[in-house]
Structure 1
């Protein structure tokens, strides 16, 4: 069964184009290393909650937008084998392709797919 990595972050709204470029560059690397699909979403209707919400989770500031993205892998094994190569790829090194957001506020995790209709 497929495996999914999910991500939520806050990106400076003014850096939307830079974020999309960074995401496209990263997508190439992920797909070269076995990812089946890379999806990047720019927040459009992401309400602030009273108890919890995407904006609260990433400490989104007024000049930032929440992004939600995921990678689909054939399996966790493929993902686990690919990630060291992805992280070492020169195209994703901070001096070449810096993340246009605060990585300390990035939320991520790996998920086993249990329903895929």
Structure 2
């Protein structure tokens, strides 16, 4: 069975990174609780890599990040697309996802987030 990945890339204002990290930590625990195999959130470190003469679009260009923002790259691993759909349905039904239970506003602009589900093309490792 091929693994399936949900991937996200977004910009977070630097002064809201701690708030975002707390939110992401809670989200990760929730997805793992409902069956996701892995949950990862990383903050940009090498955002202008030297690719020689090969032209590339960088993550800050993709997310239109400003000087006071950091790029966050995230993914959640599932057994399959069907498993992803089952896990996400459970997550959405979890009381922790009730908008009434969330007091804080989003620490990023969700309109600038990119998201997609990916089926496995090549996979090495565990």
TM-score, normalising length: structure 1: 0.87
Q: Alpha-carbon deviation of 1:94?
A: 4.5
- Equivalent residue, structure 2, for 1:37: 38
Unaligned runs of 5+ in 2: 50-54
Whether 1:67 and 2:72 are equivalent positions in the alignment is yes
Deviations 1:72-94 (A, max 9, x none): 00111011122233234332345
Q: How many residues align?
A: 116
Residues 103 and 88 of structure 1: CA distance in aligned 2, closer, same or farther (over 3 Å) = farther
Shift of 1:56: 1.6
Deviation beyond 6 Å, 4+ runs, structure 1: none
Gaps of 5+ in 1: none
In 1, the alpha carbon distance for the partners of 2:42 and 2:65 equals: 16
* Structure possessing the higher radius of gyration over alpha carbons: 2
The answer to whether the Cα contact below 8 Å between 1:7 and 1:70 also exists between their aligned partners in 2 is yes
1:58 to partner: Cα distance: 1.3
Return the TM-score normalized by structure 2: 0.82
* CA RMSD, Structure 1 to Structure 2 (Å): 2.0
Give the superposition deviation at 1:18.
1.0
Secondary structure of the corresponding residue to residue 22 of structure 1:
helix
Equivalent residue runs for 1:92-107 within 5 Å: 92-95=97-100, 96=102, 98-107=105-114
Matches within 5 A, 1:1-117: 1-47=2-48, 52-95=57-100, 96=102, 98-117=105-124
Q: Relative to 1, partners in 2 of residues 1:93 and 1:9: Cα closer, same or farther, differing over 3 Å?
A: farther
Q: CA deviation at 1:32?
A: 1.6
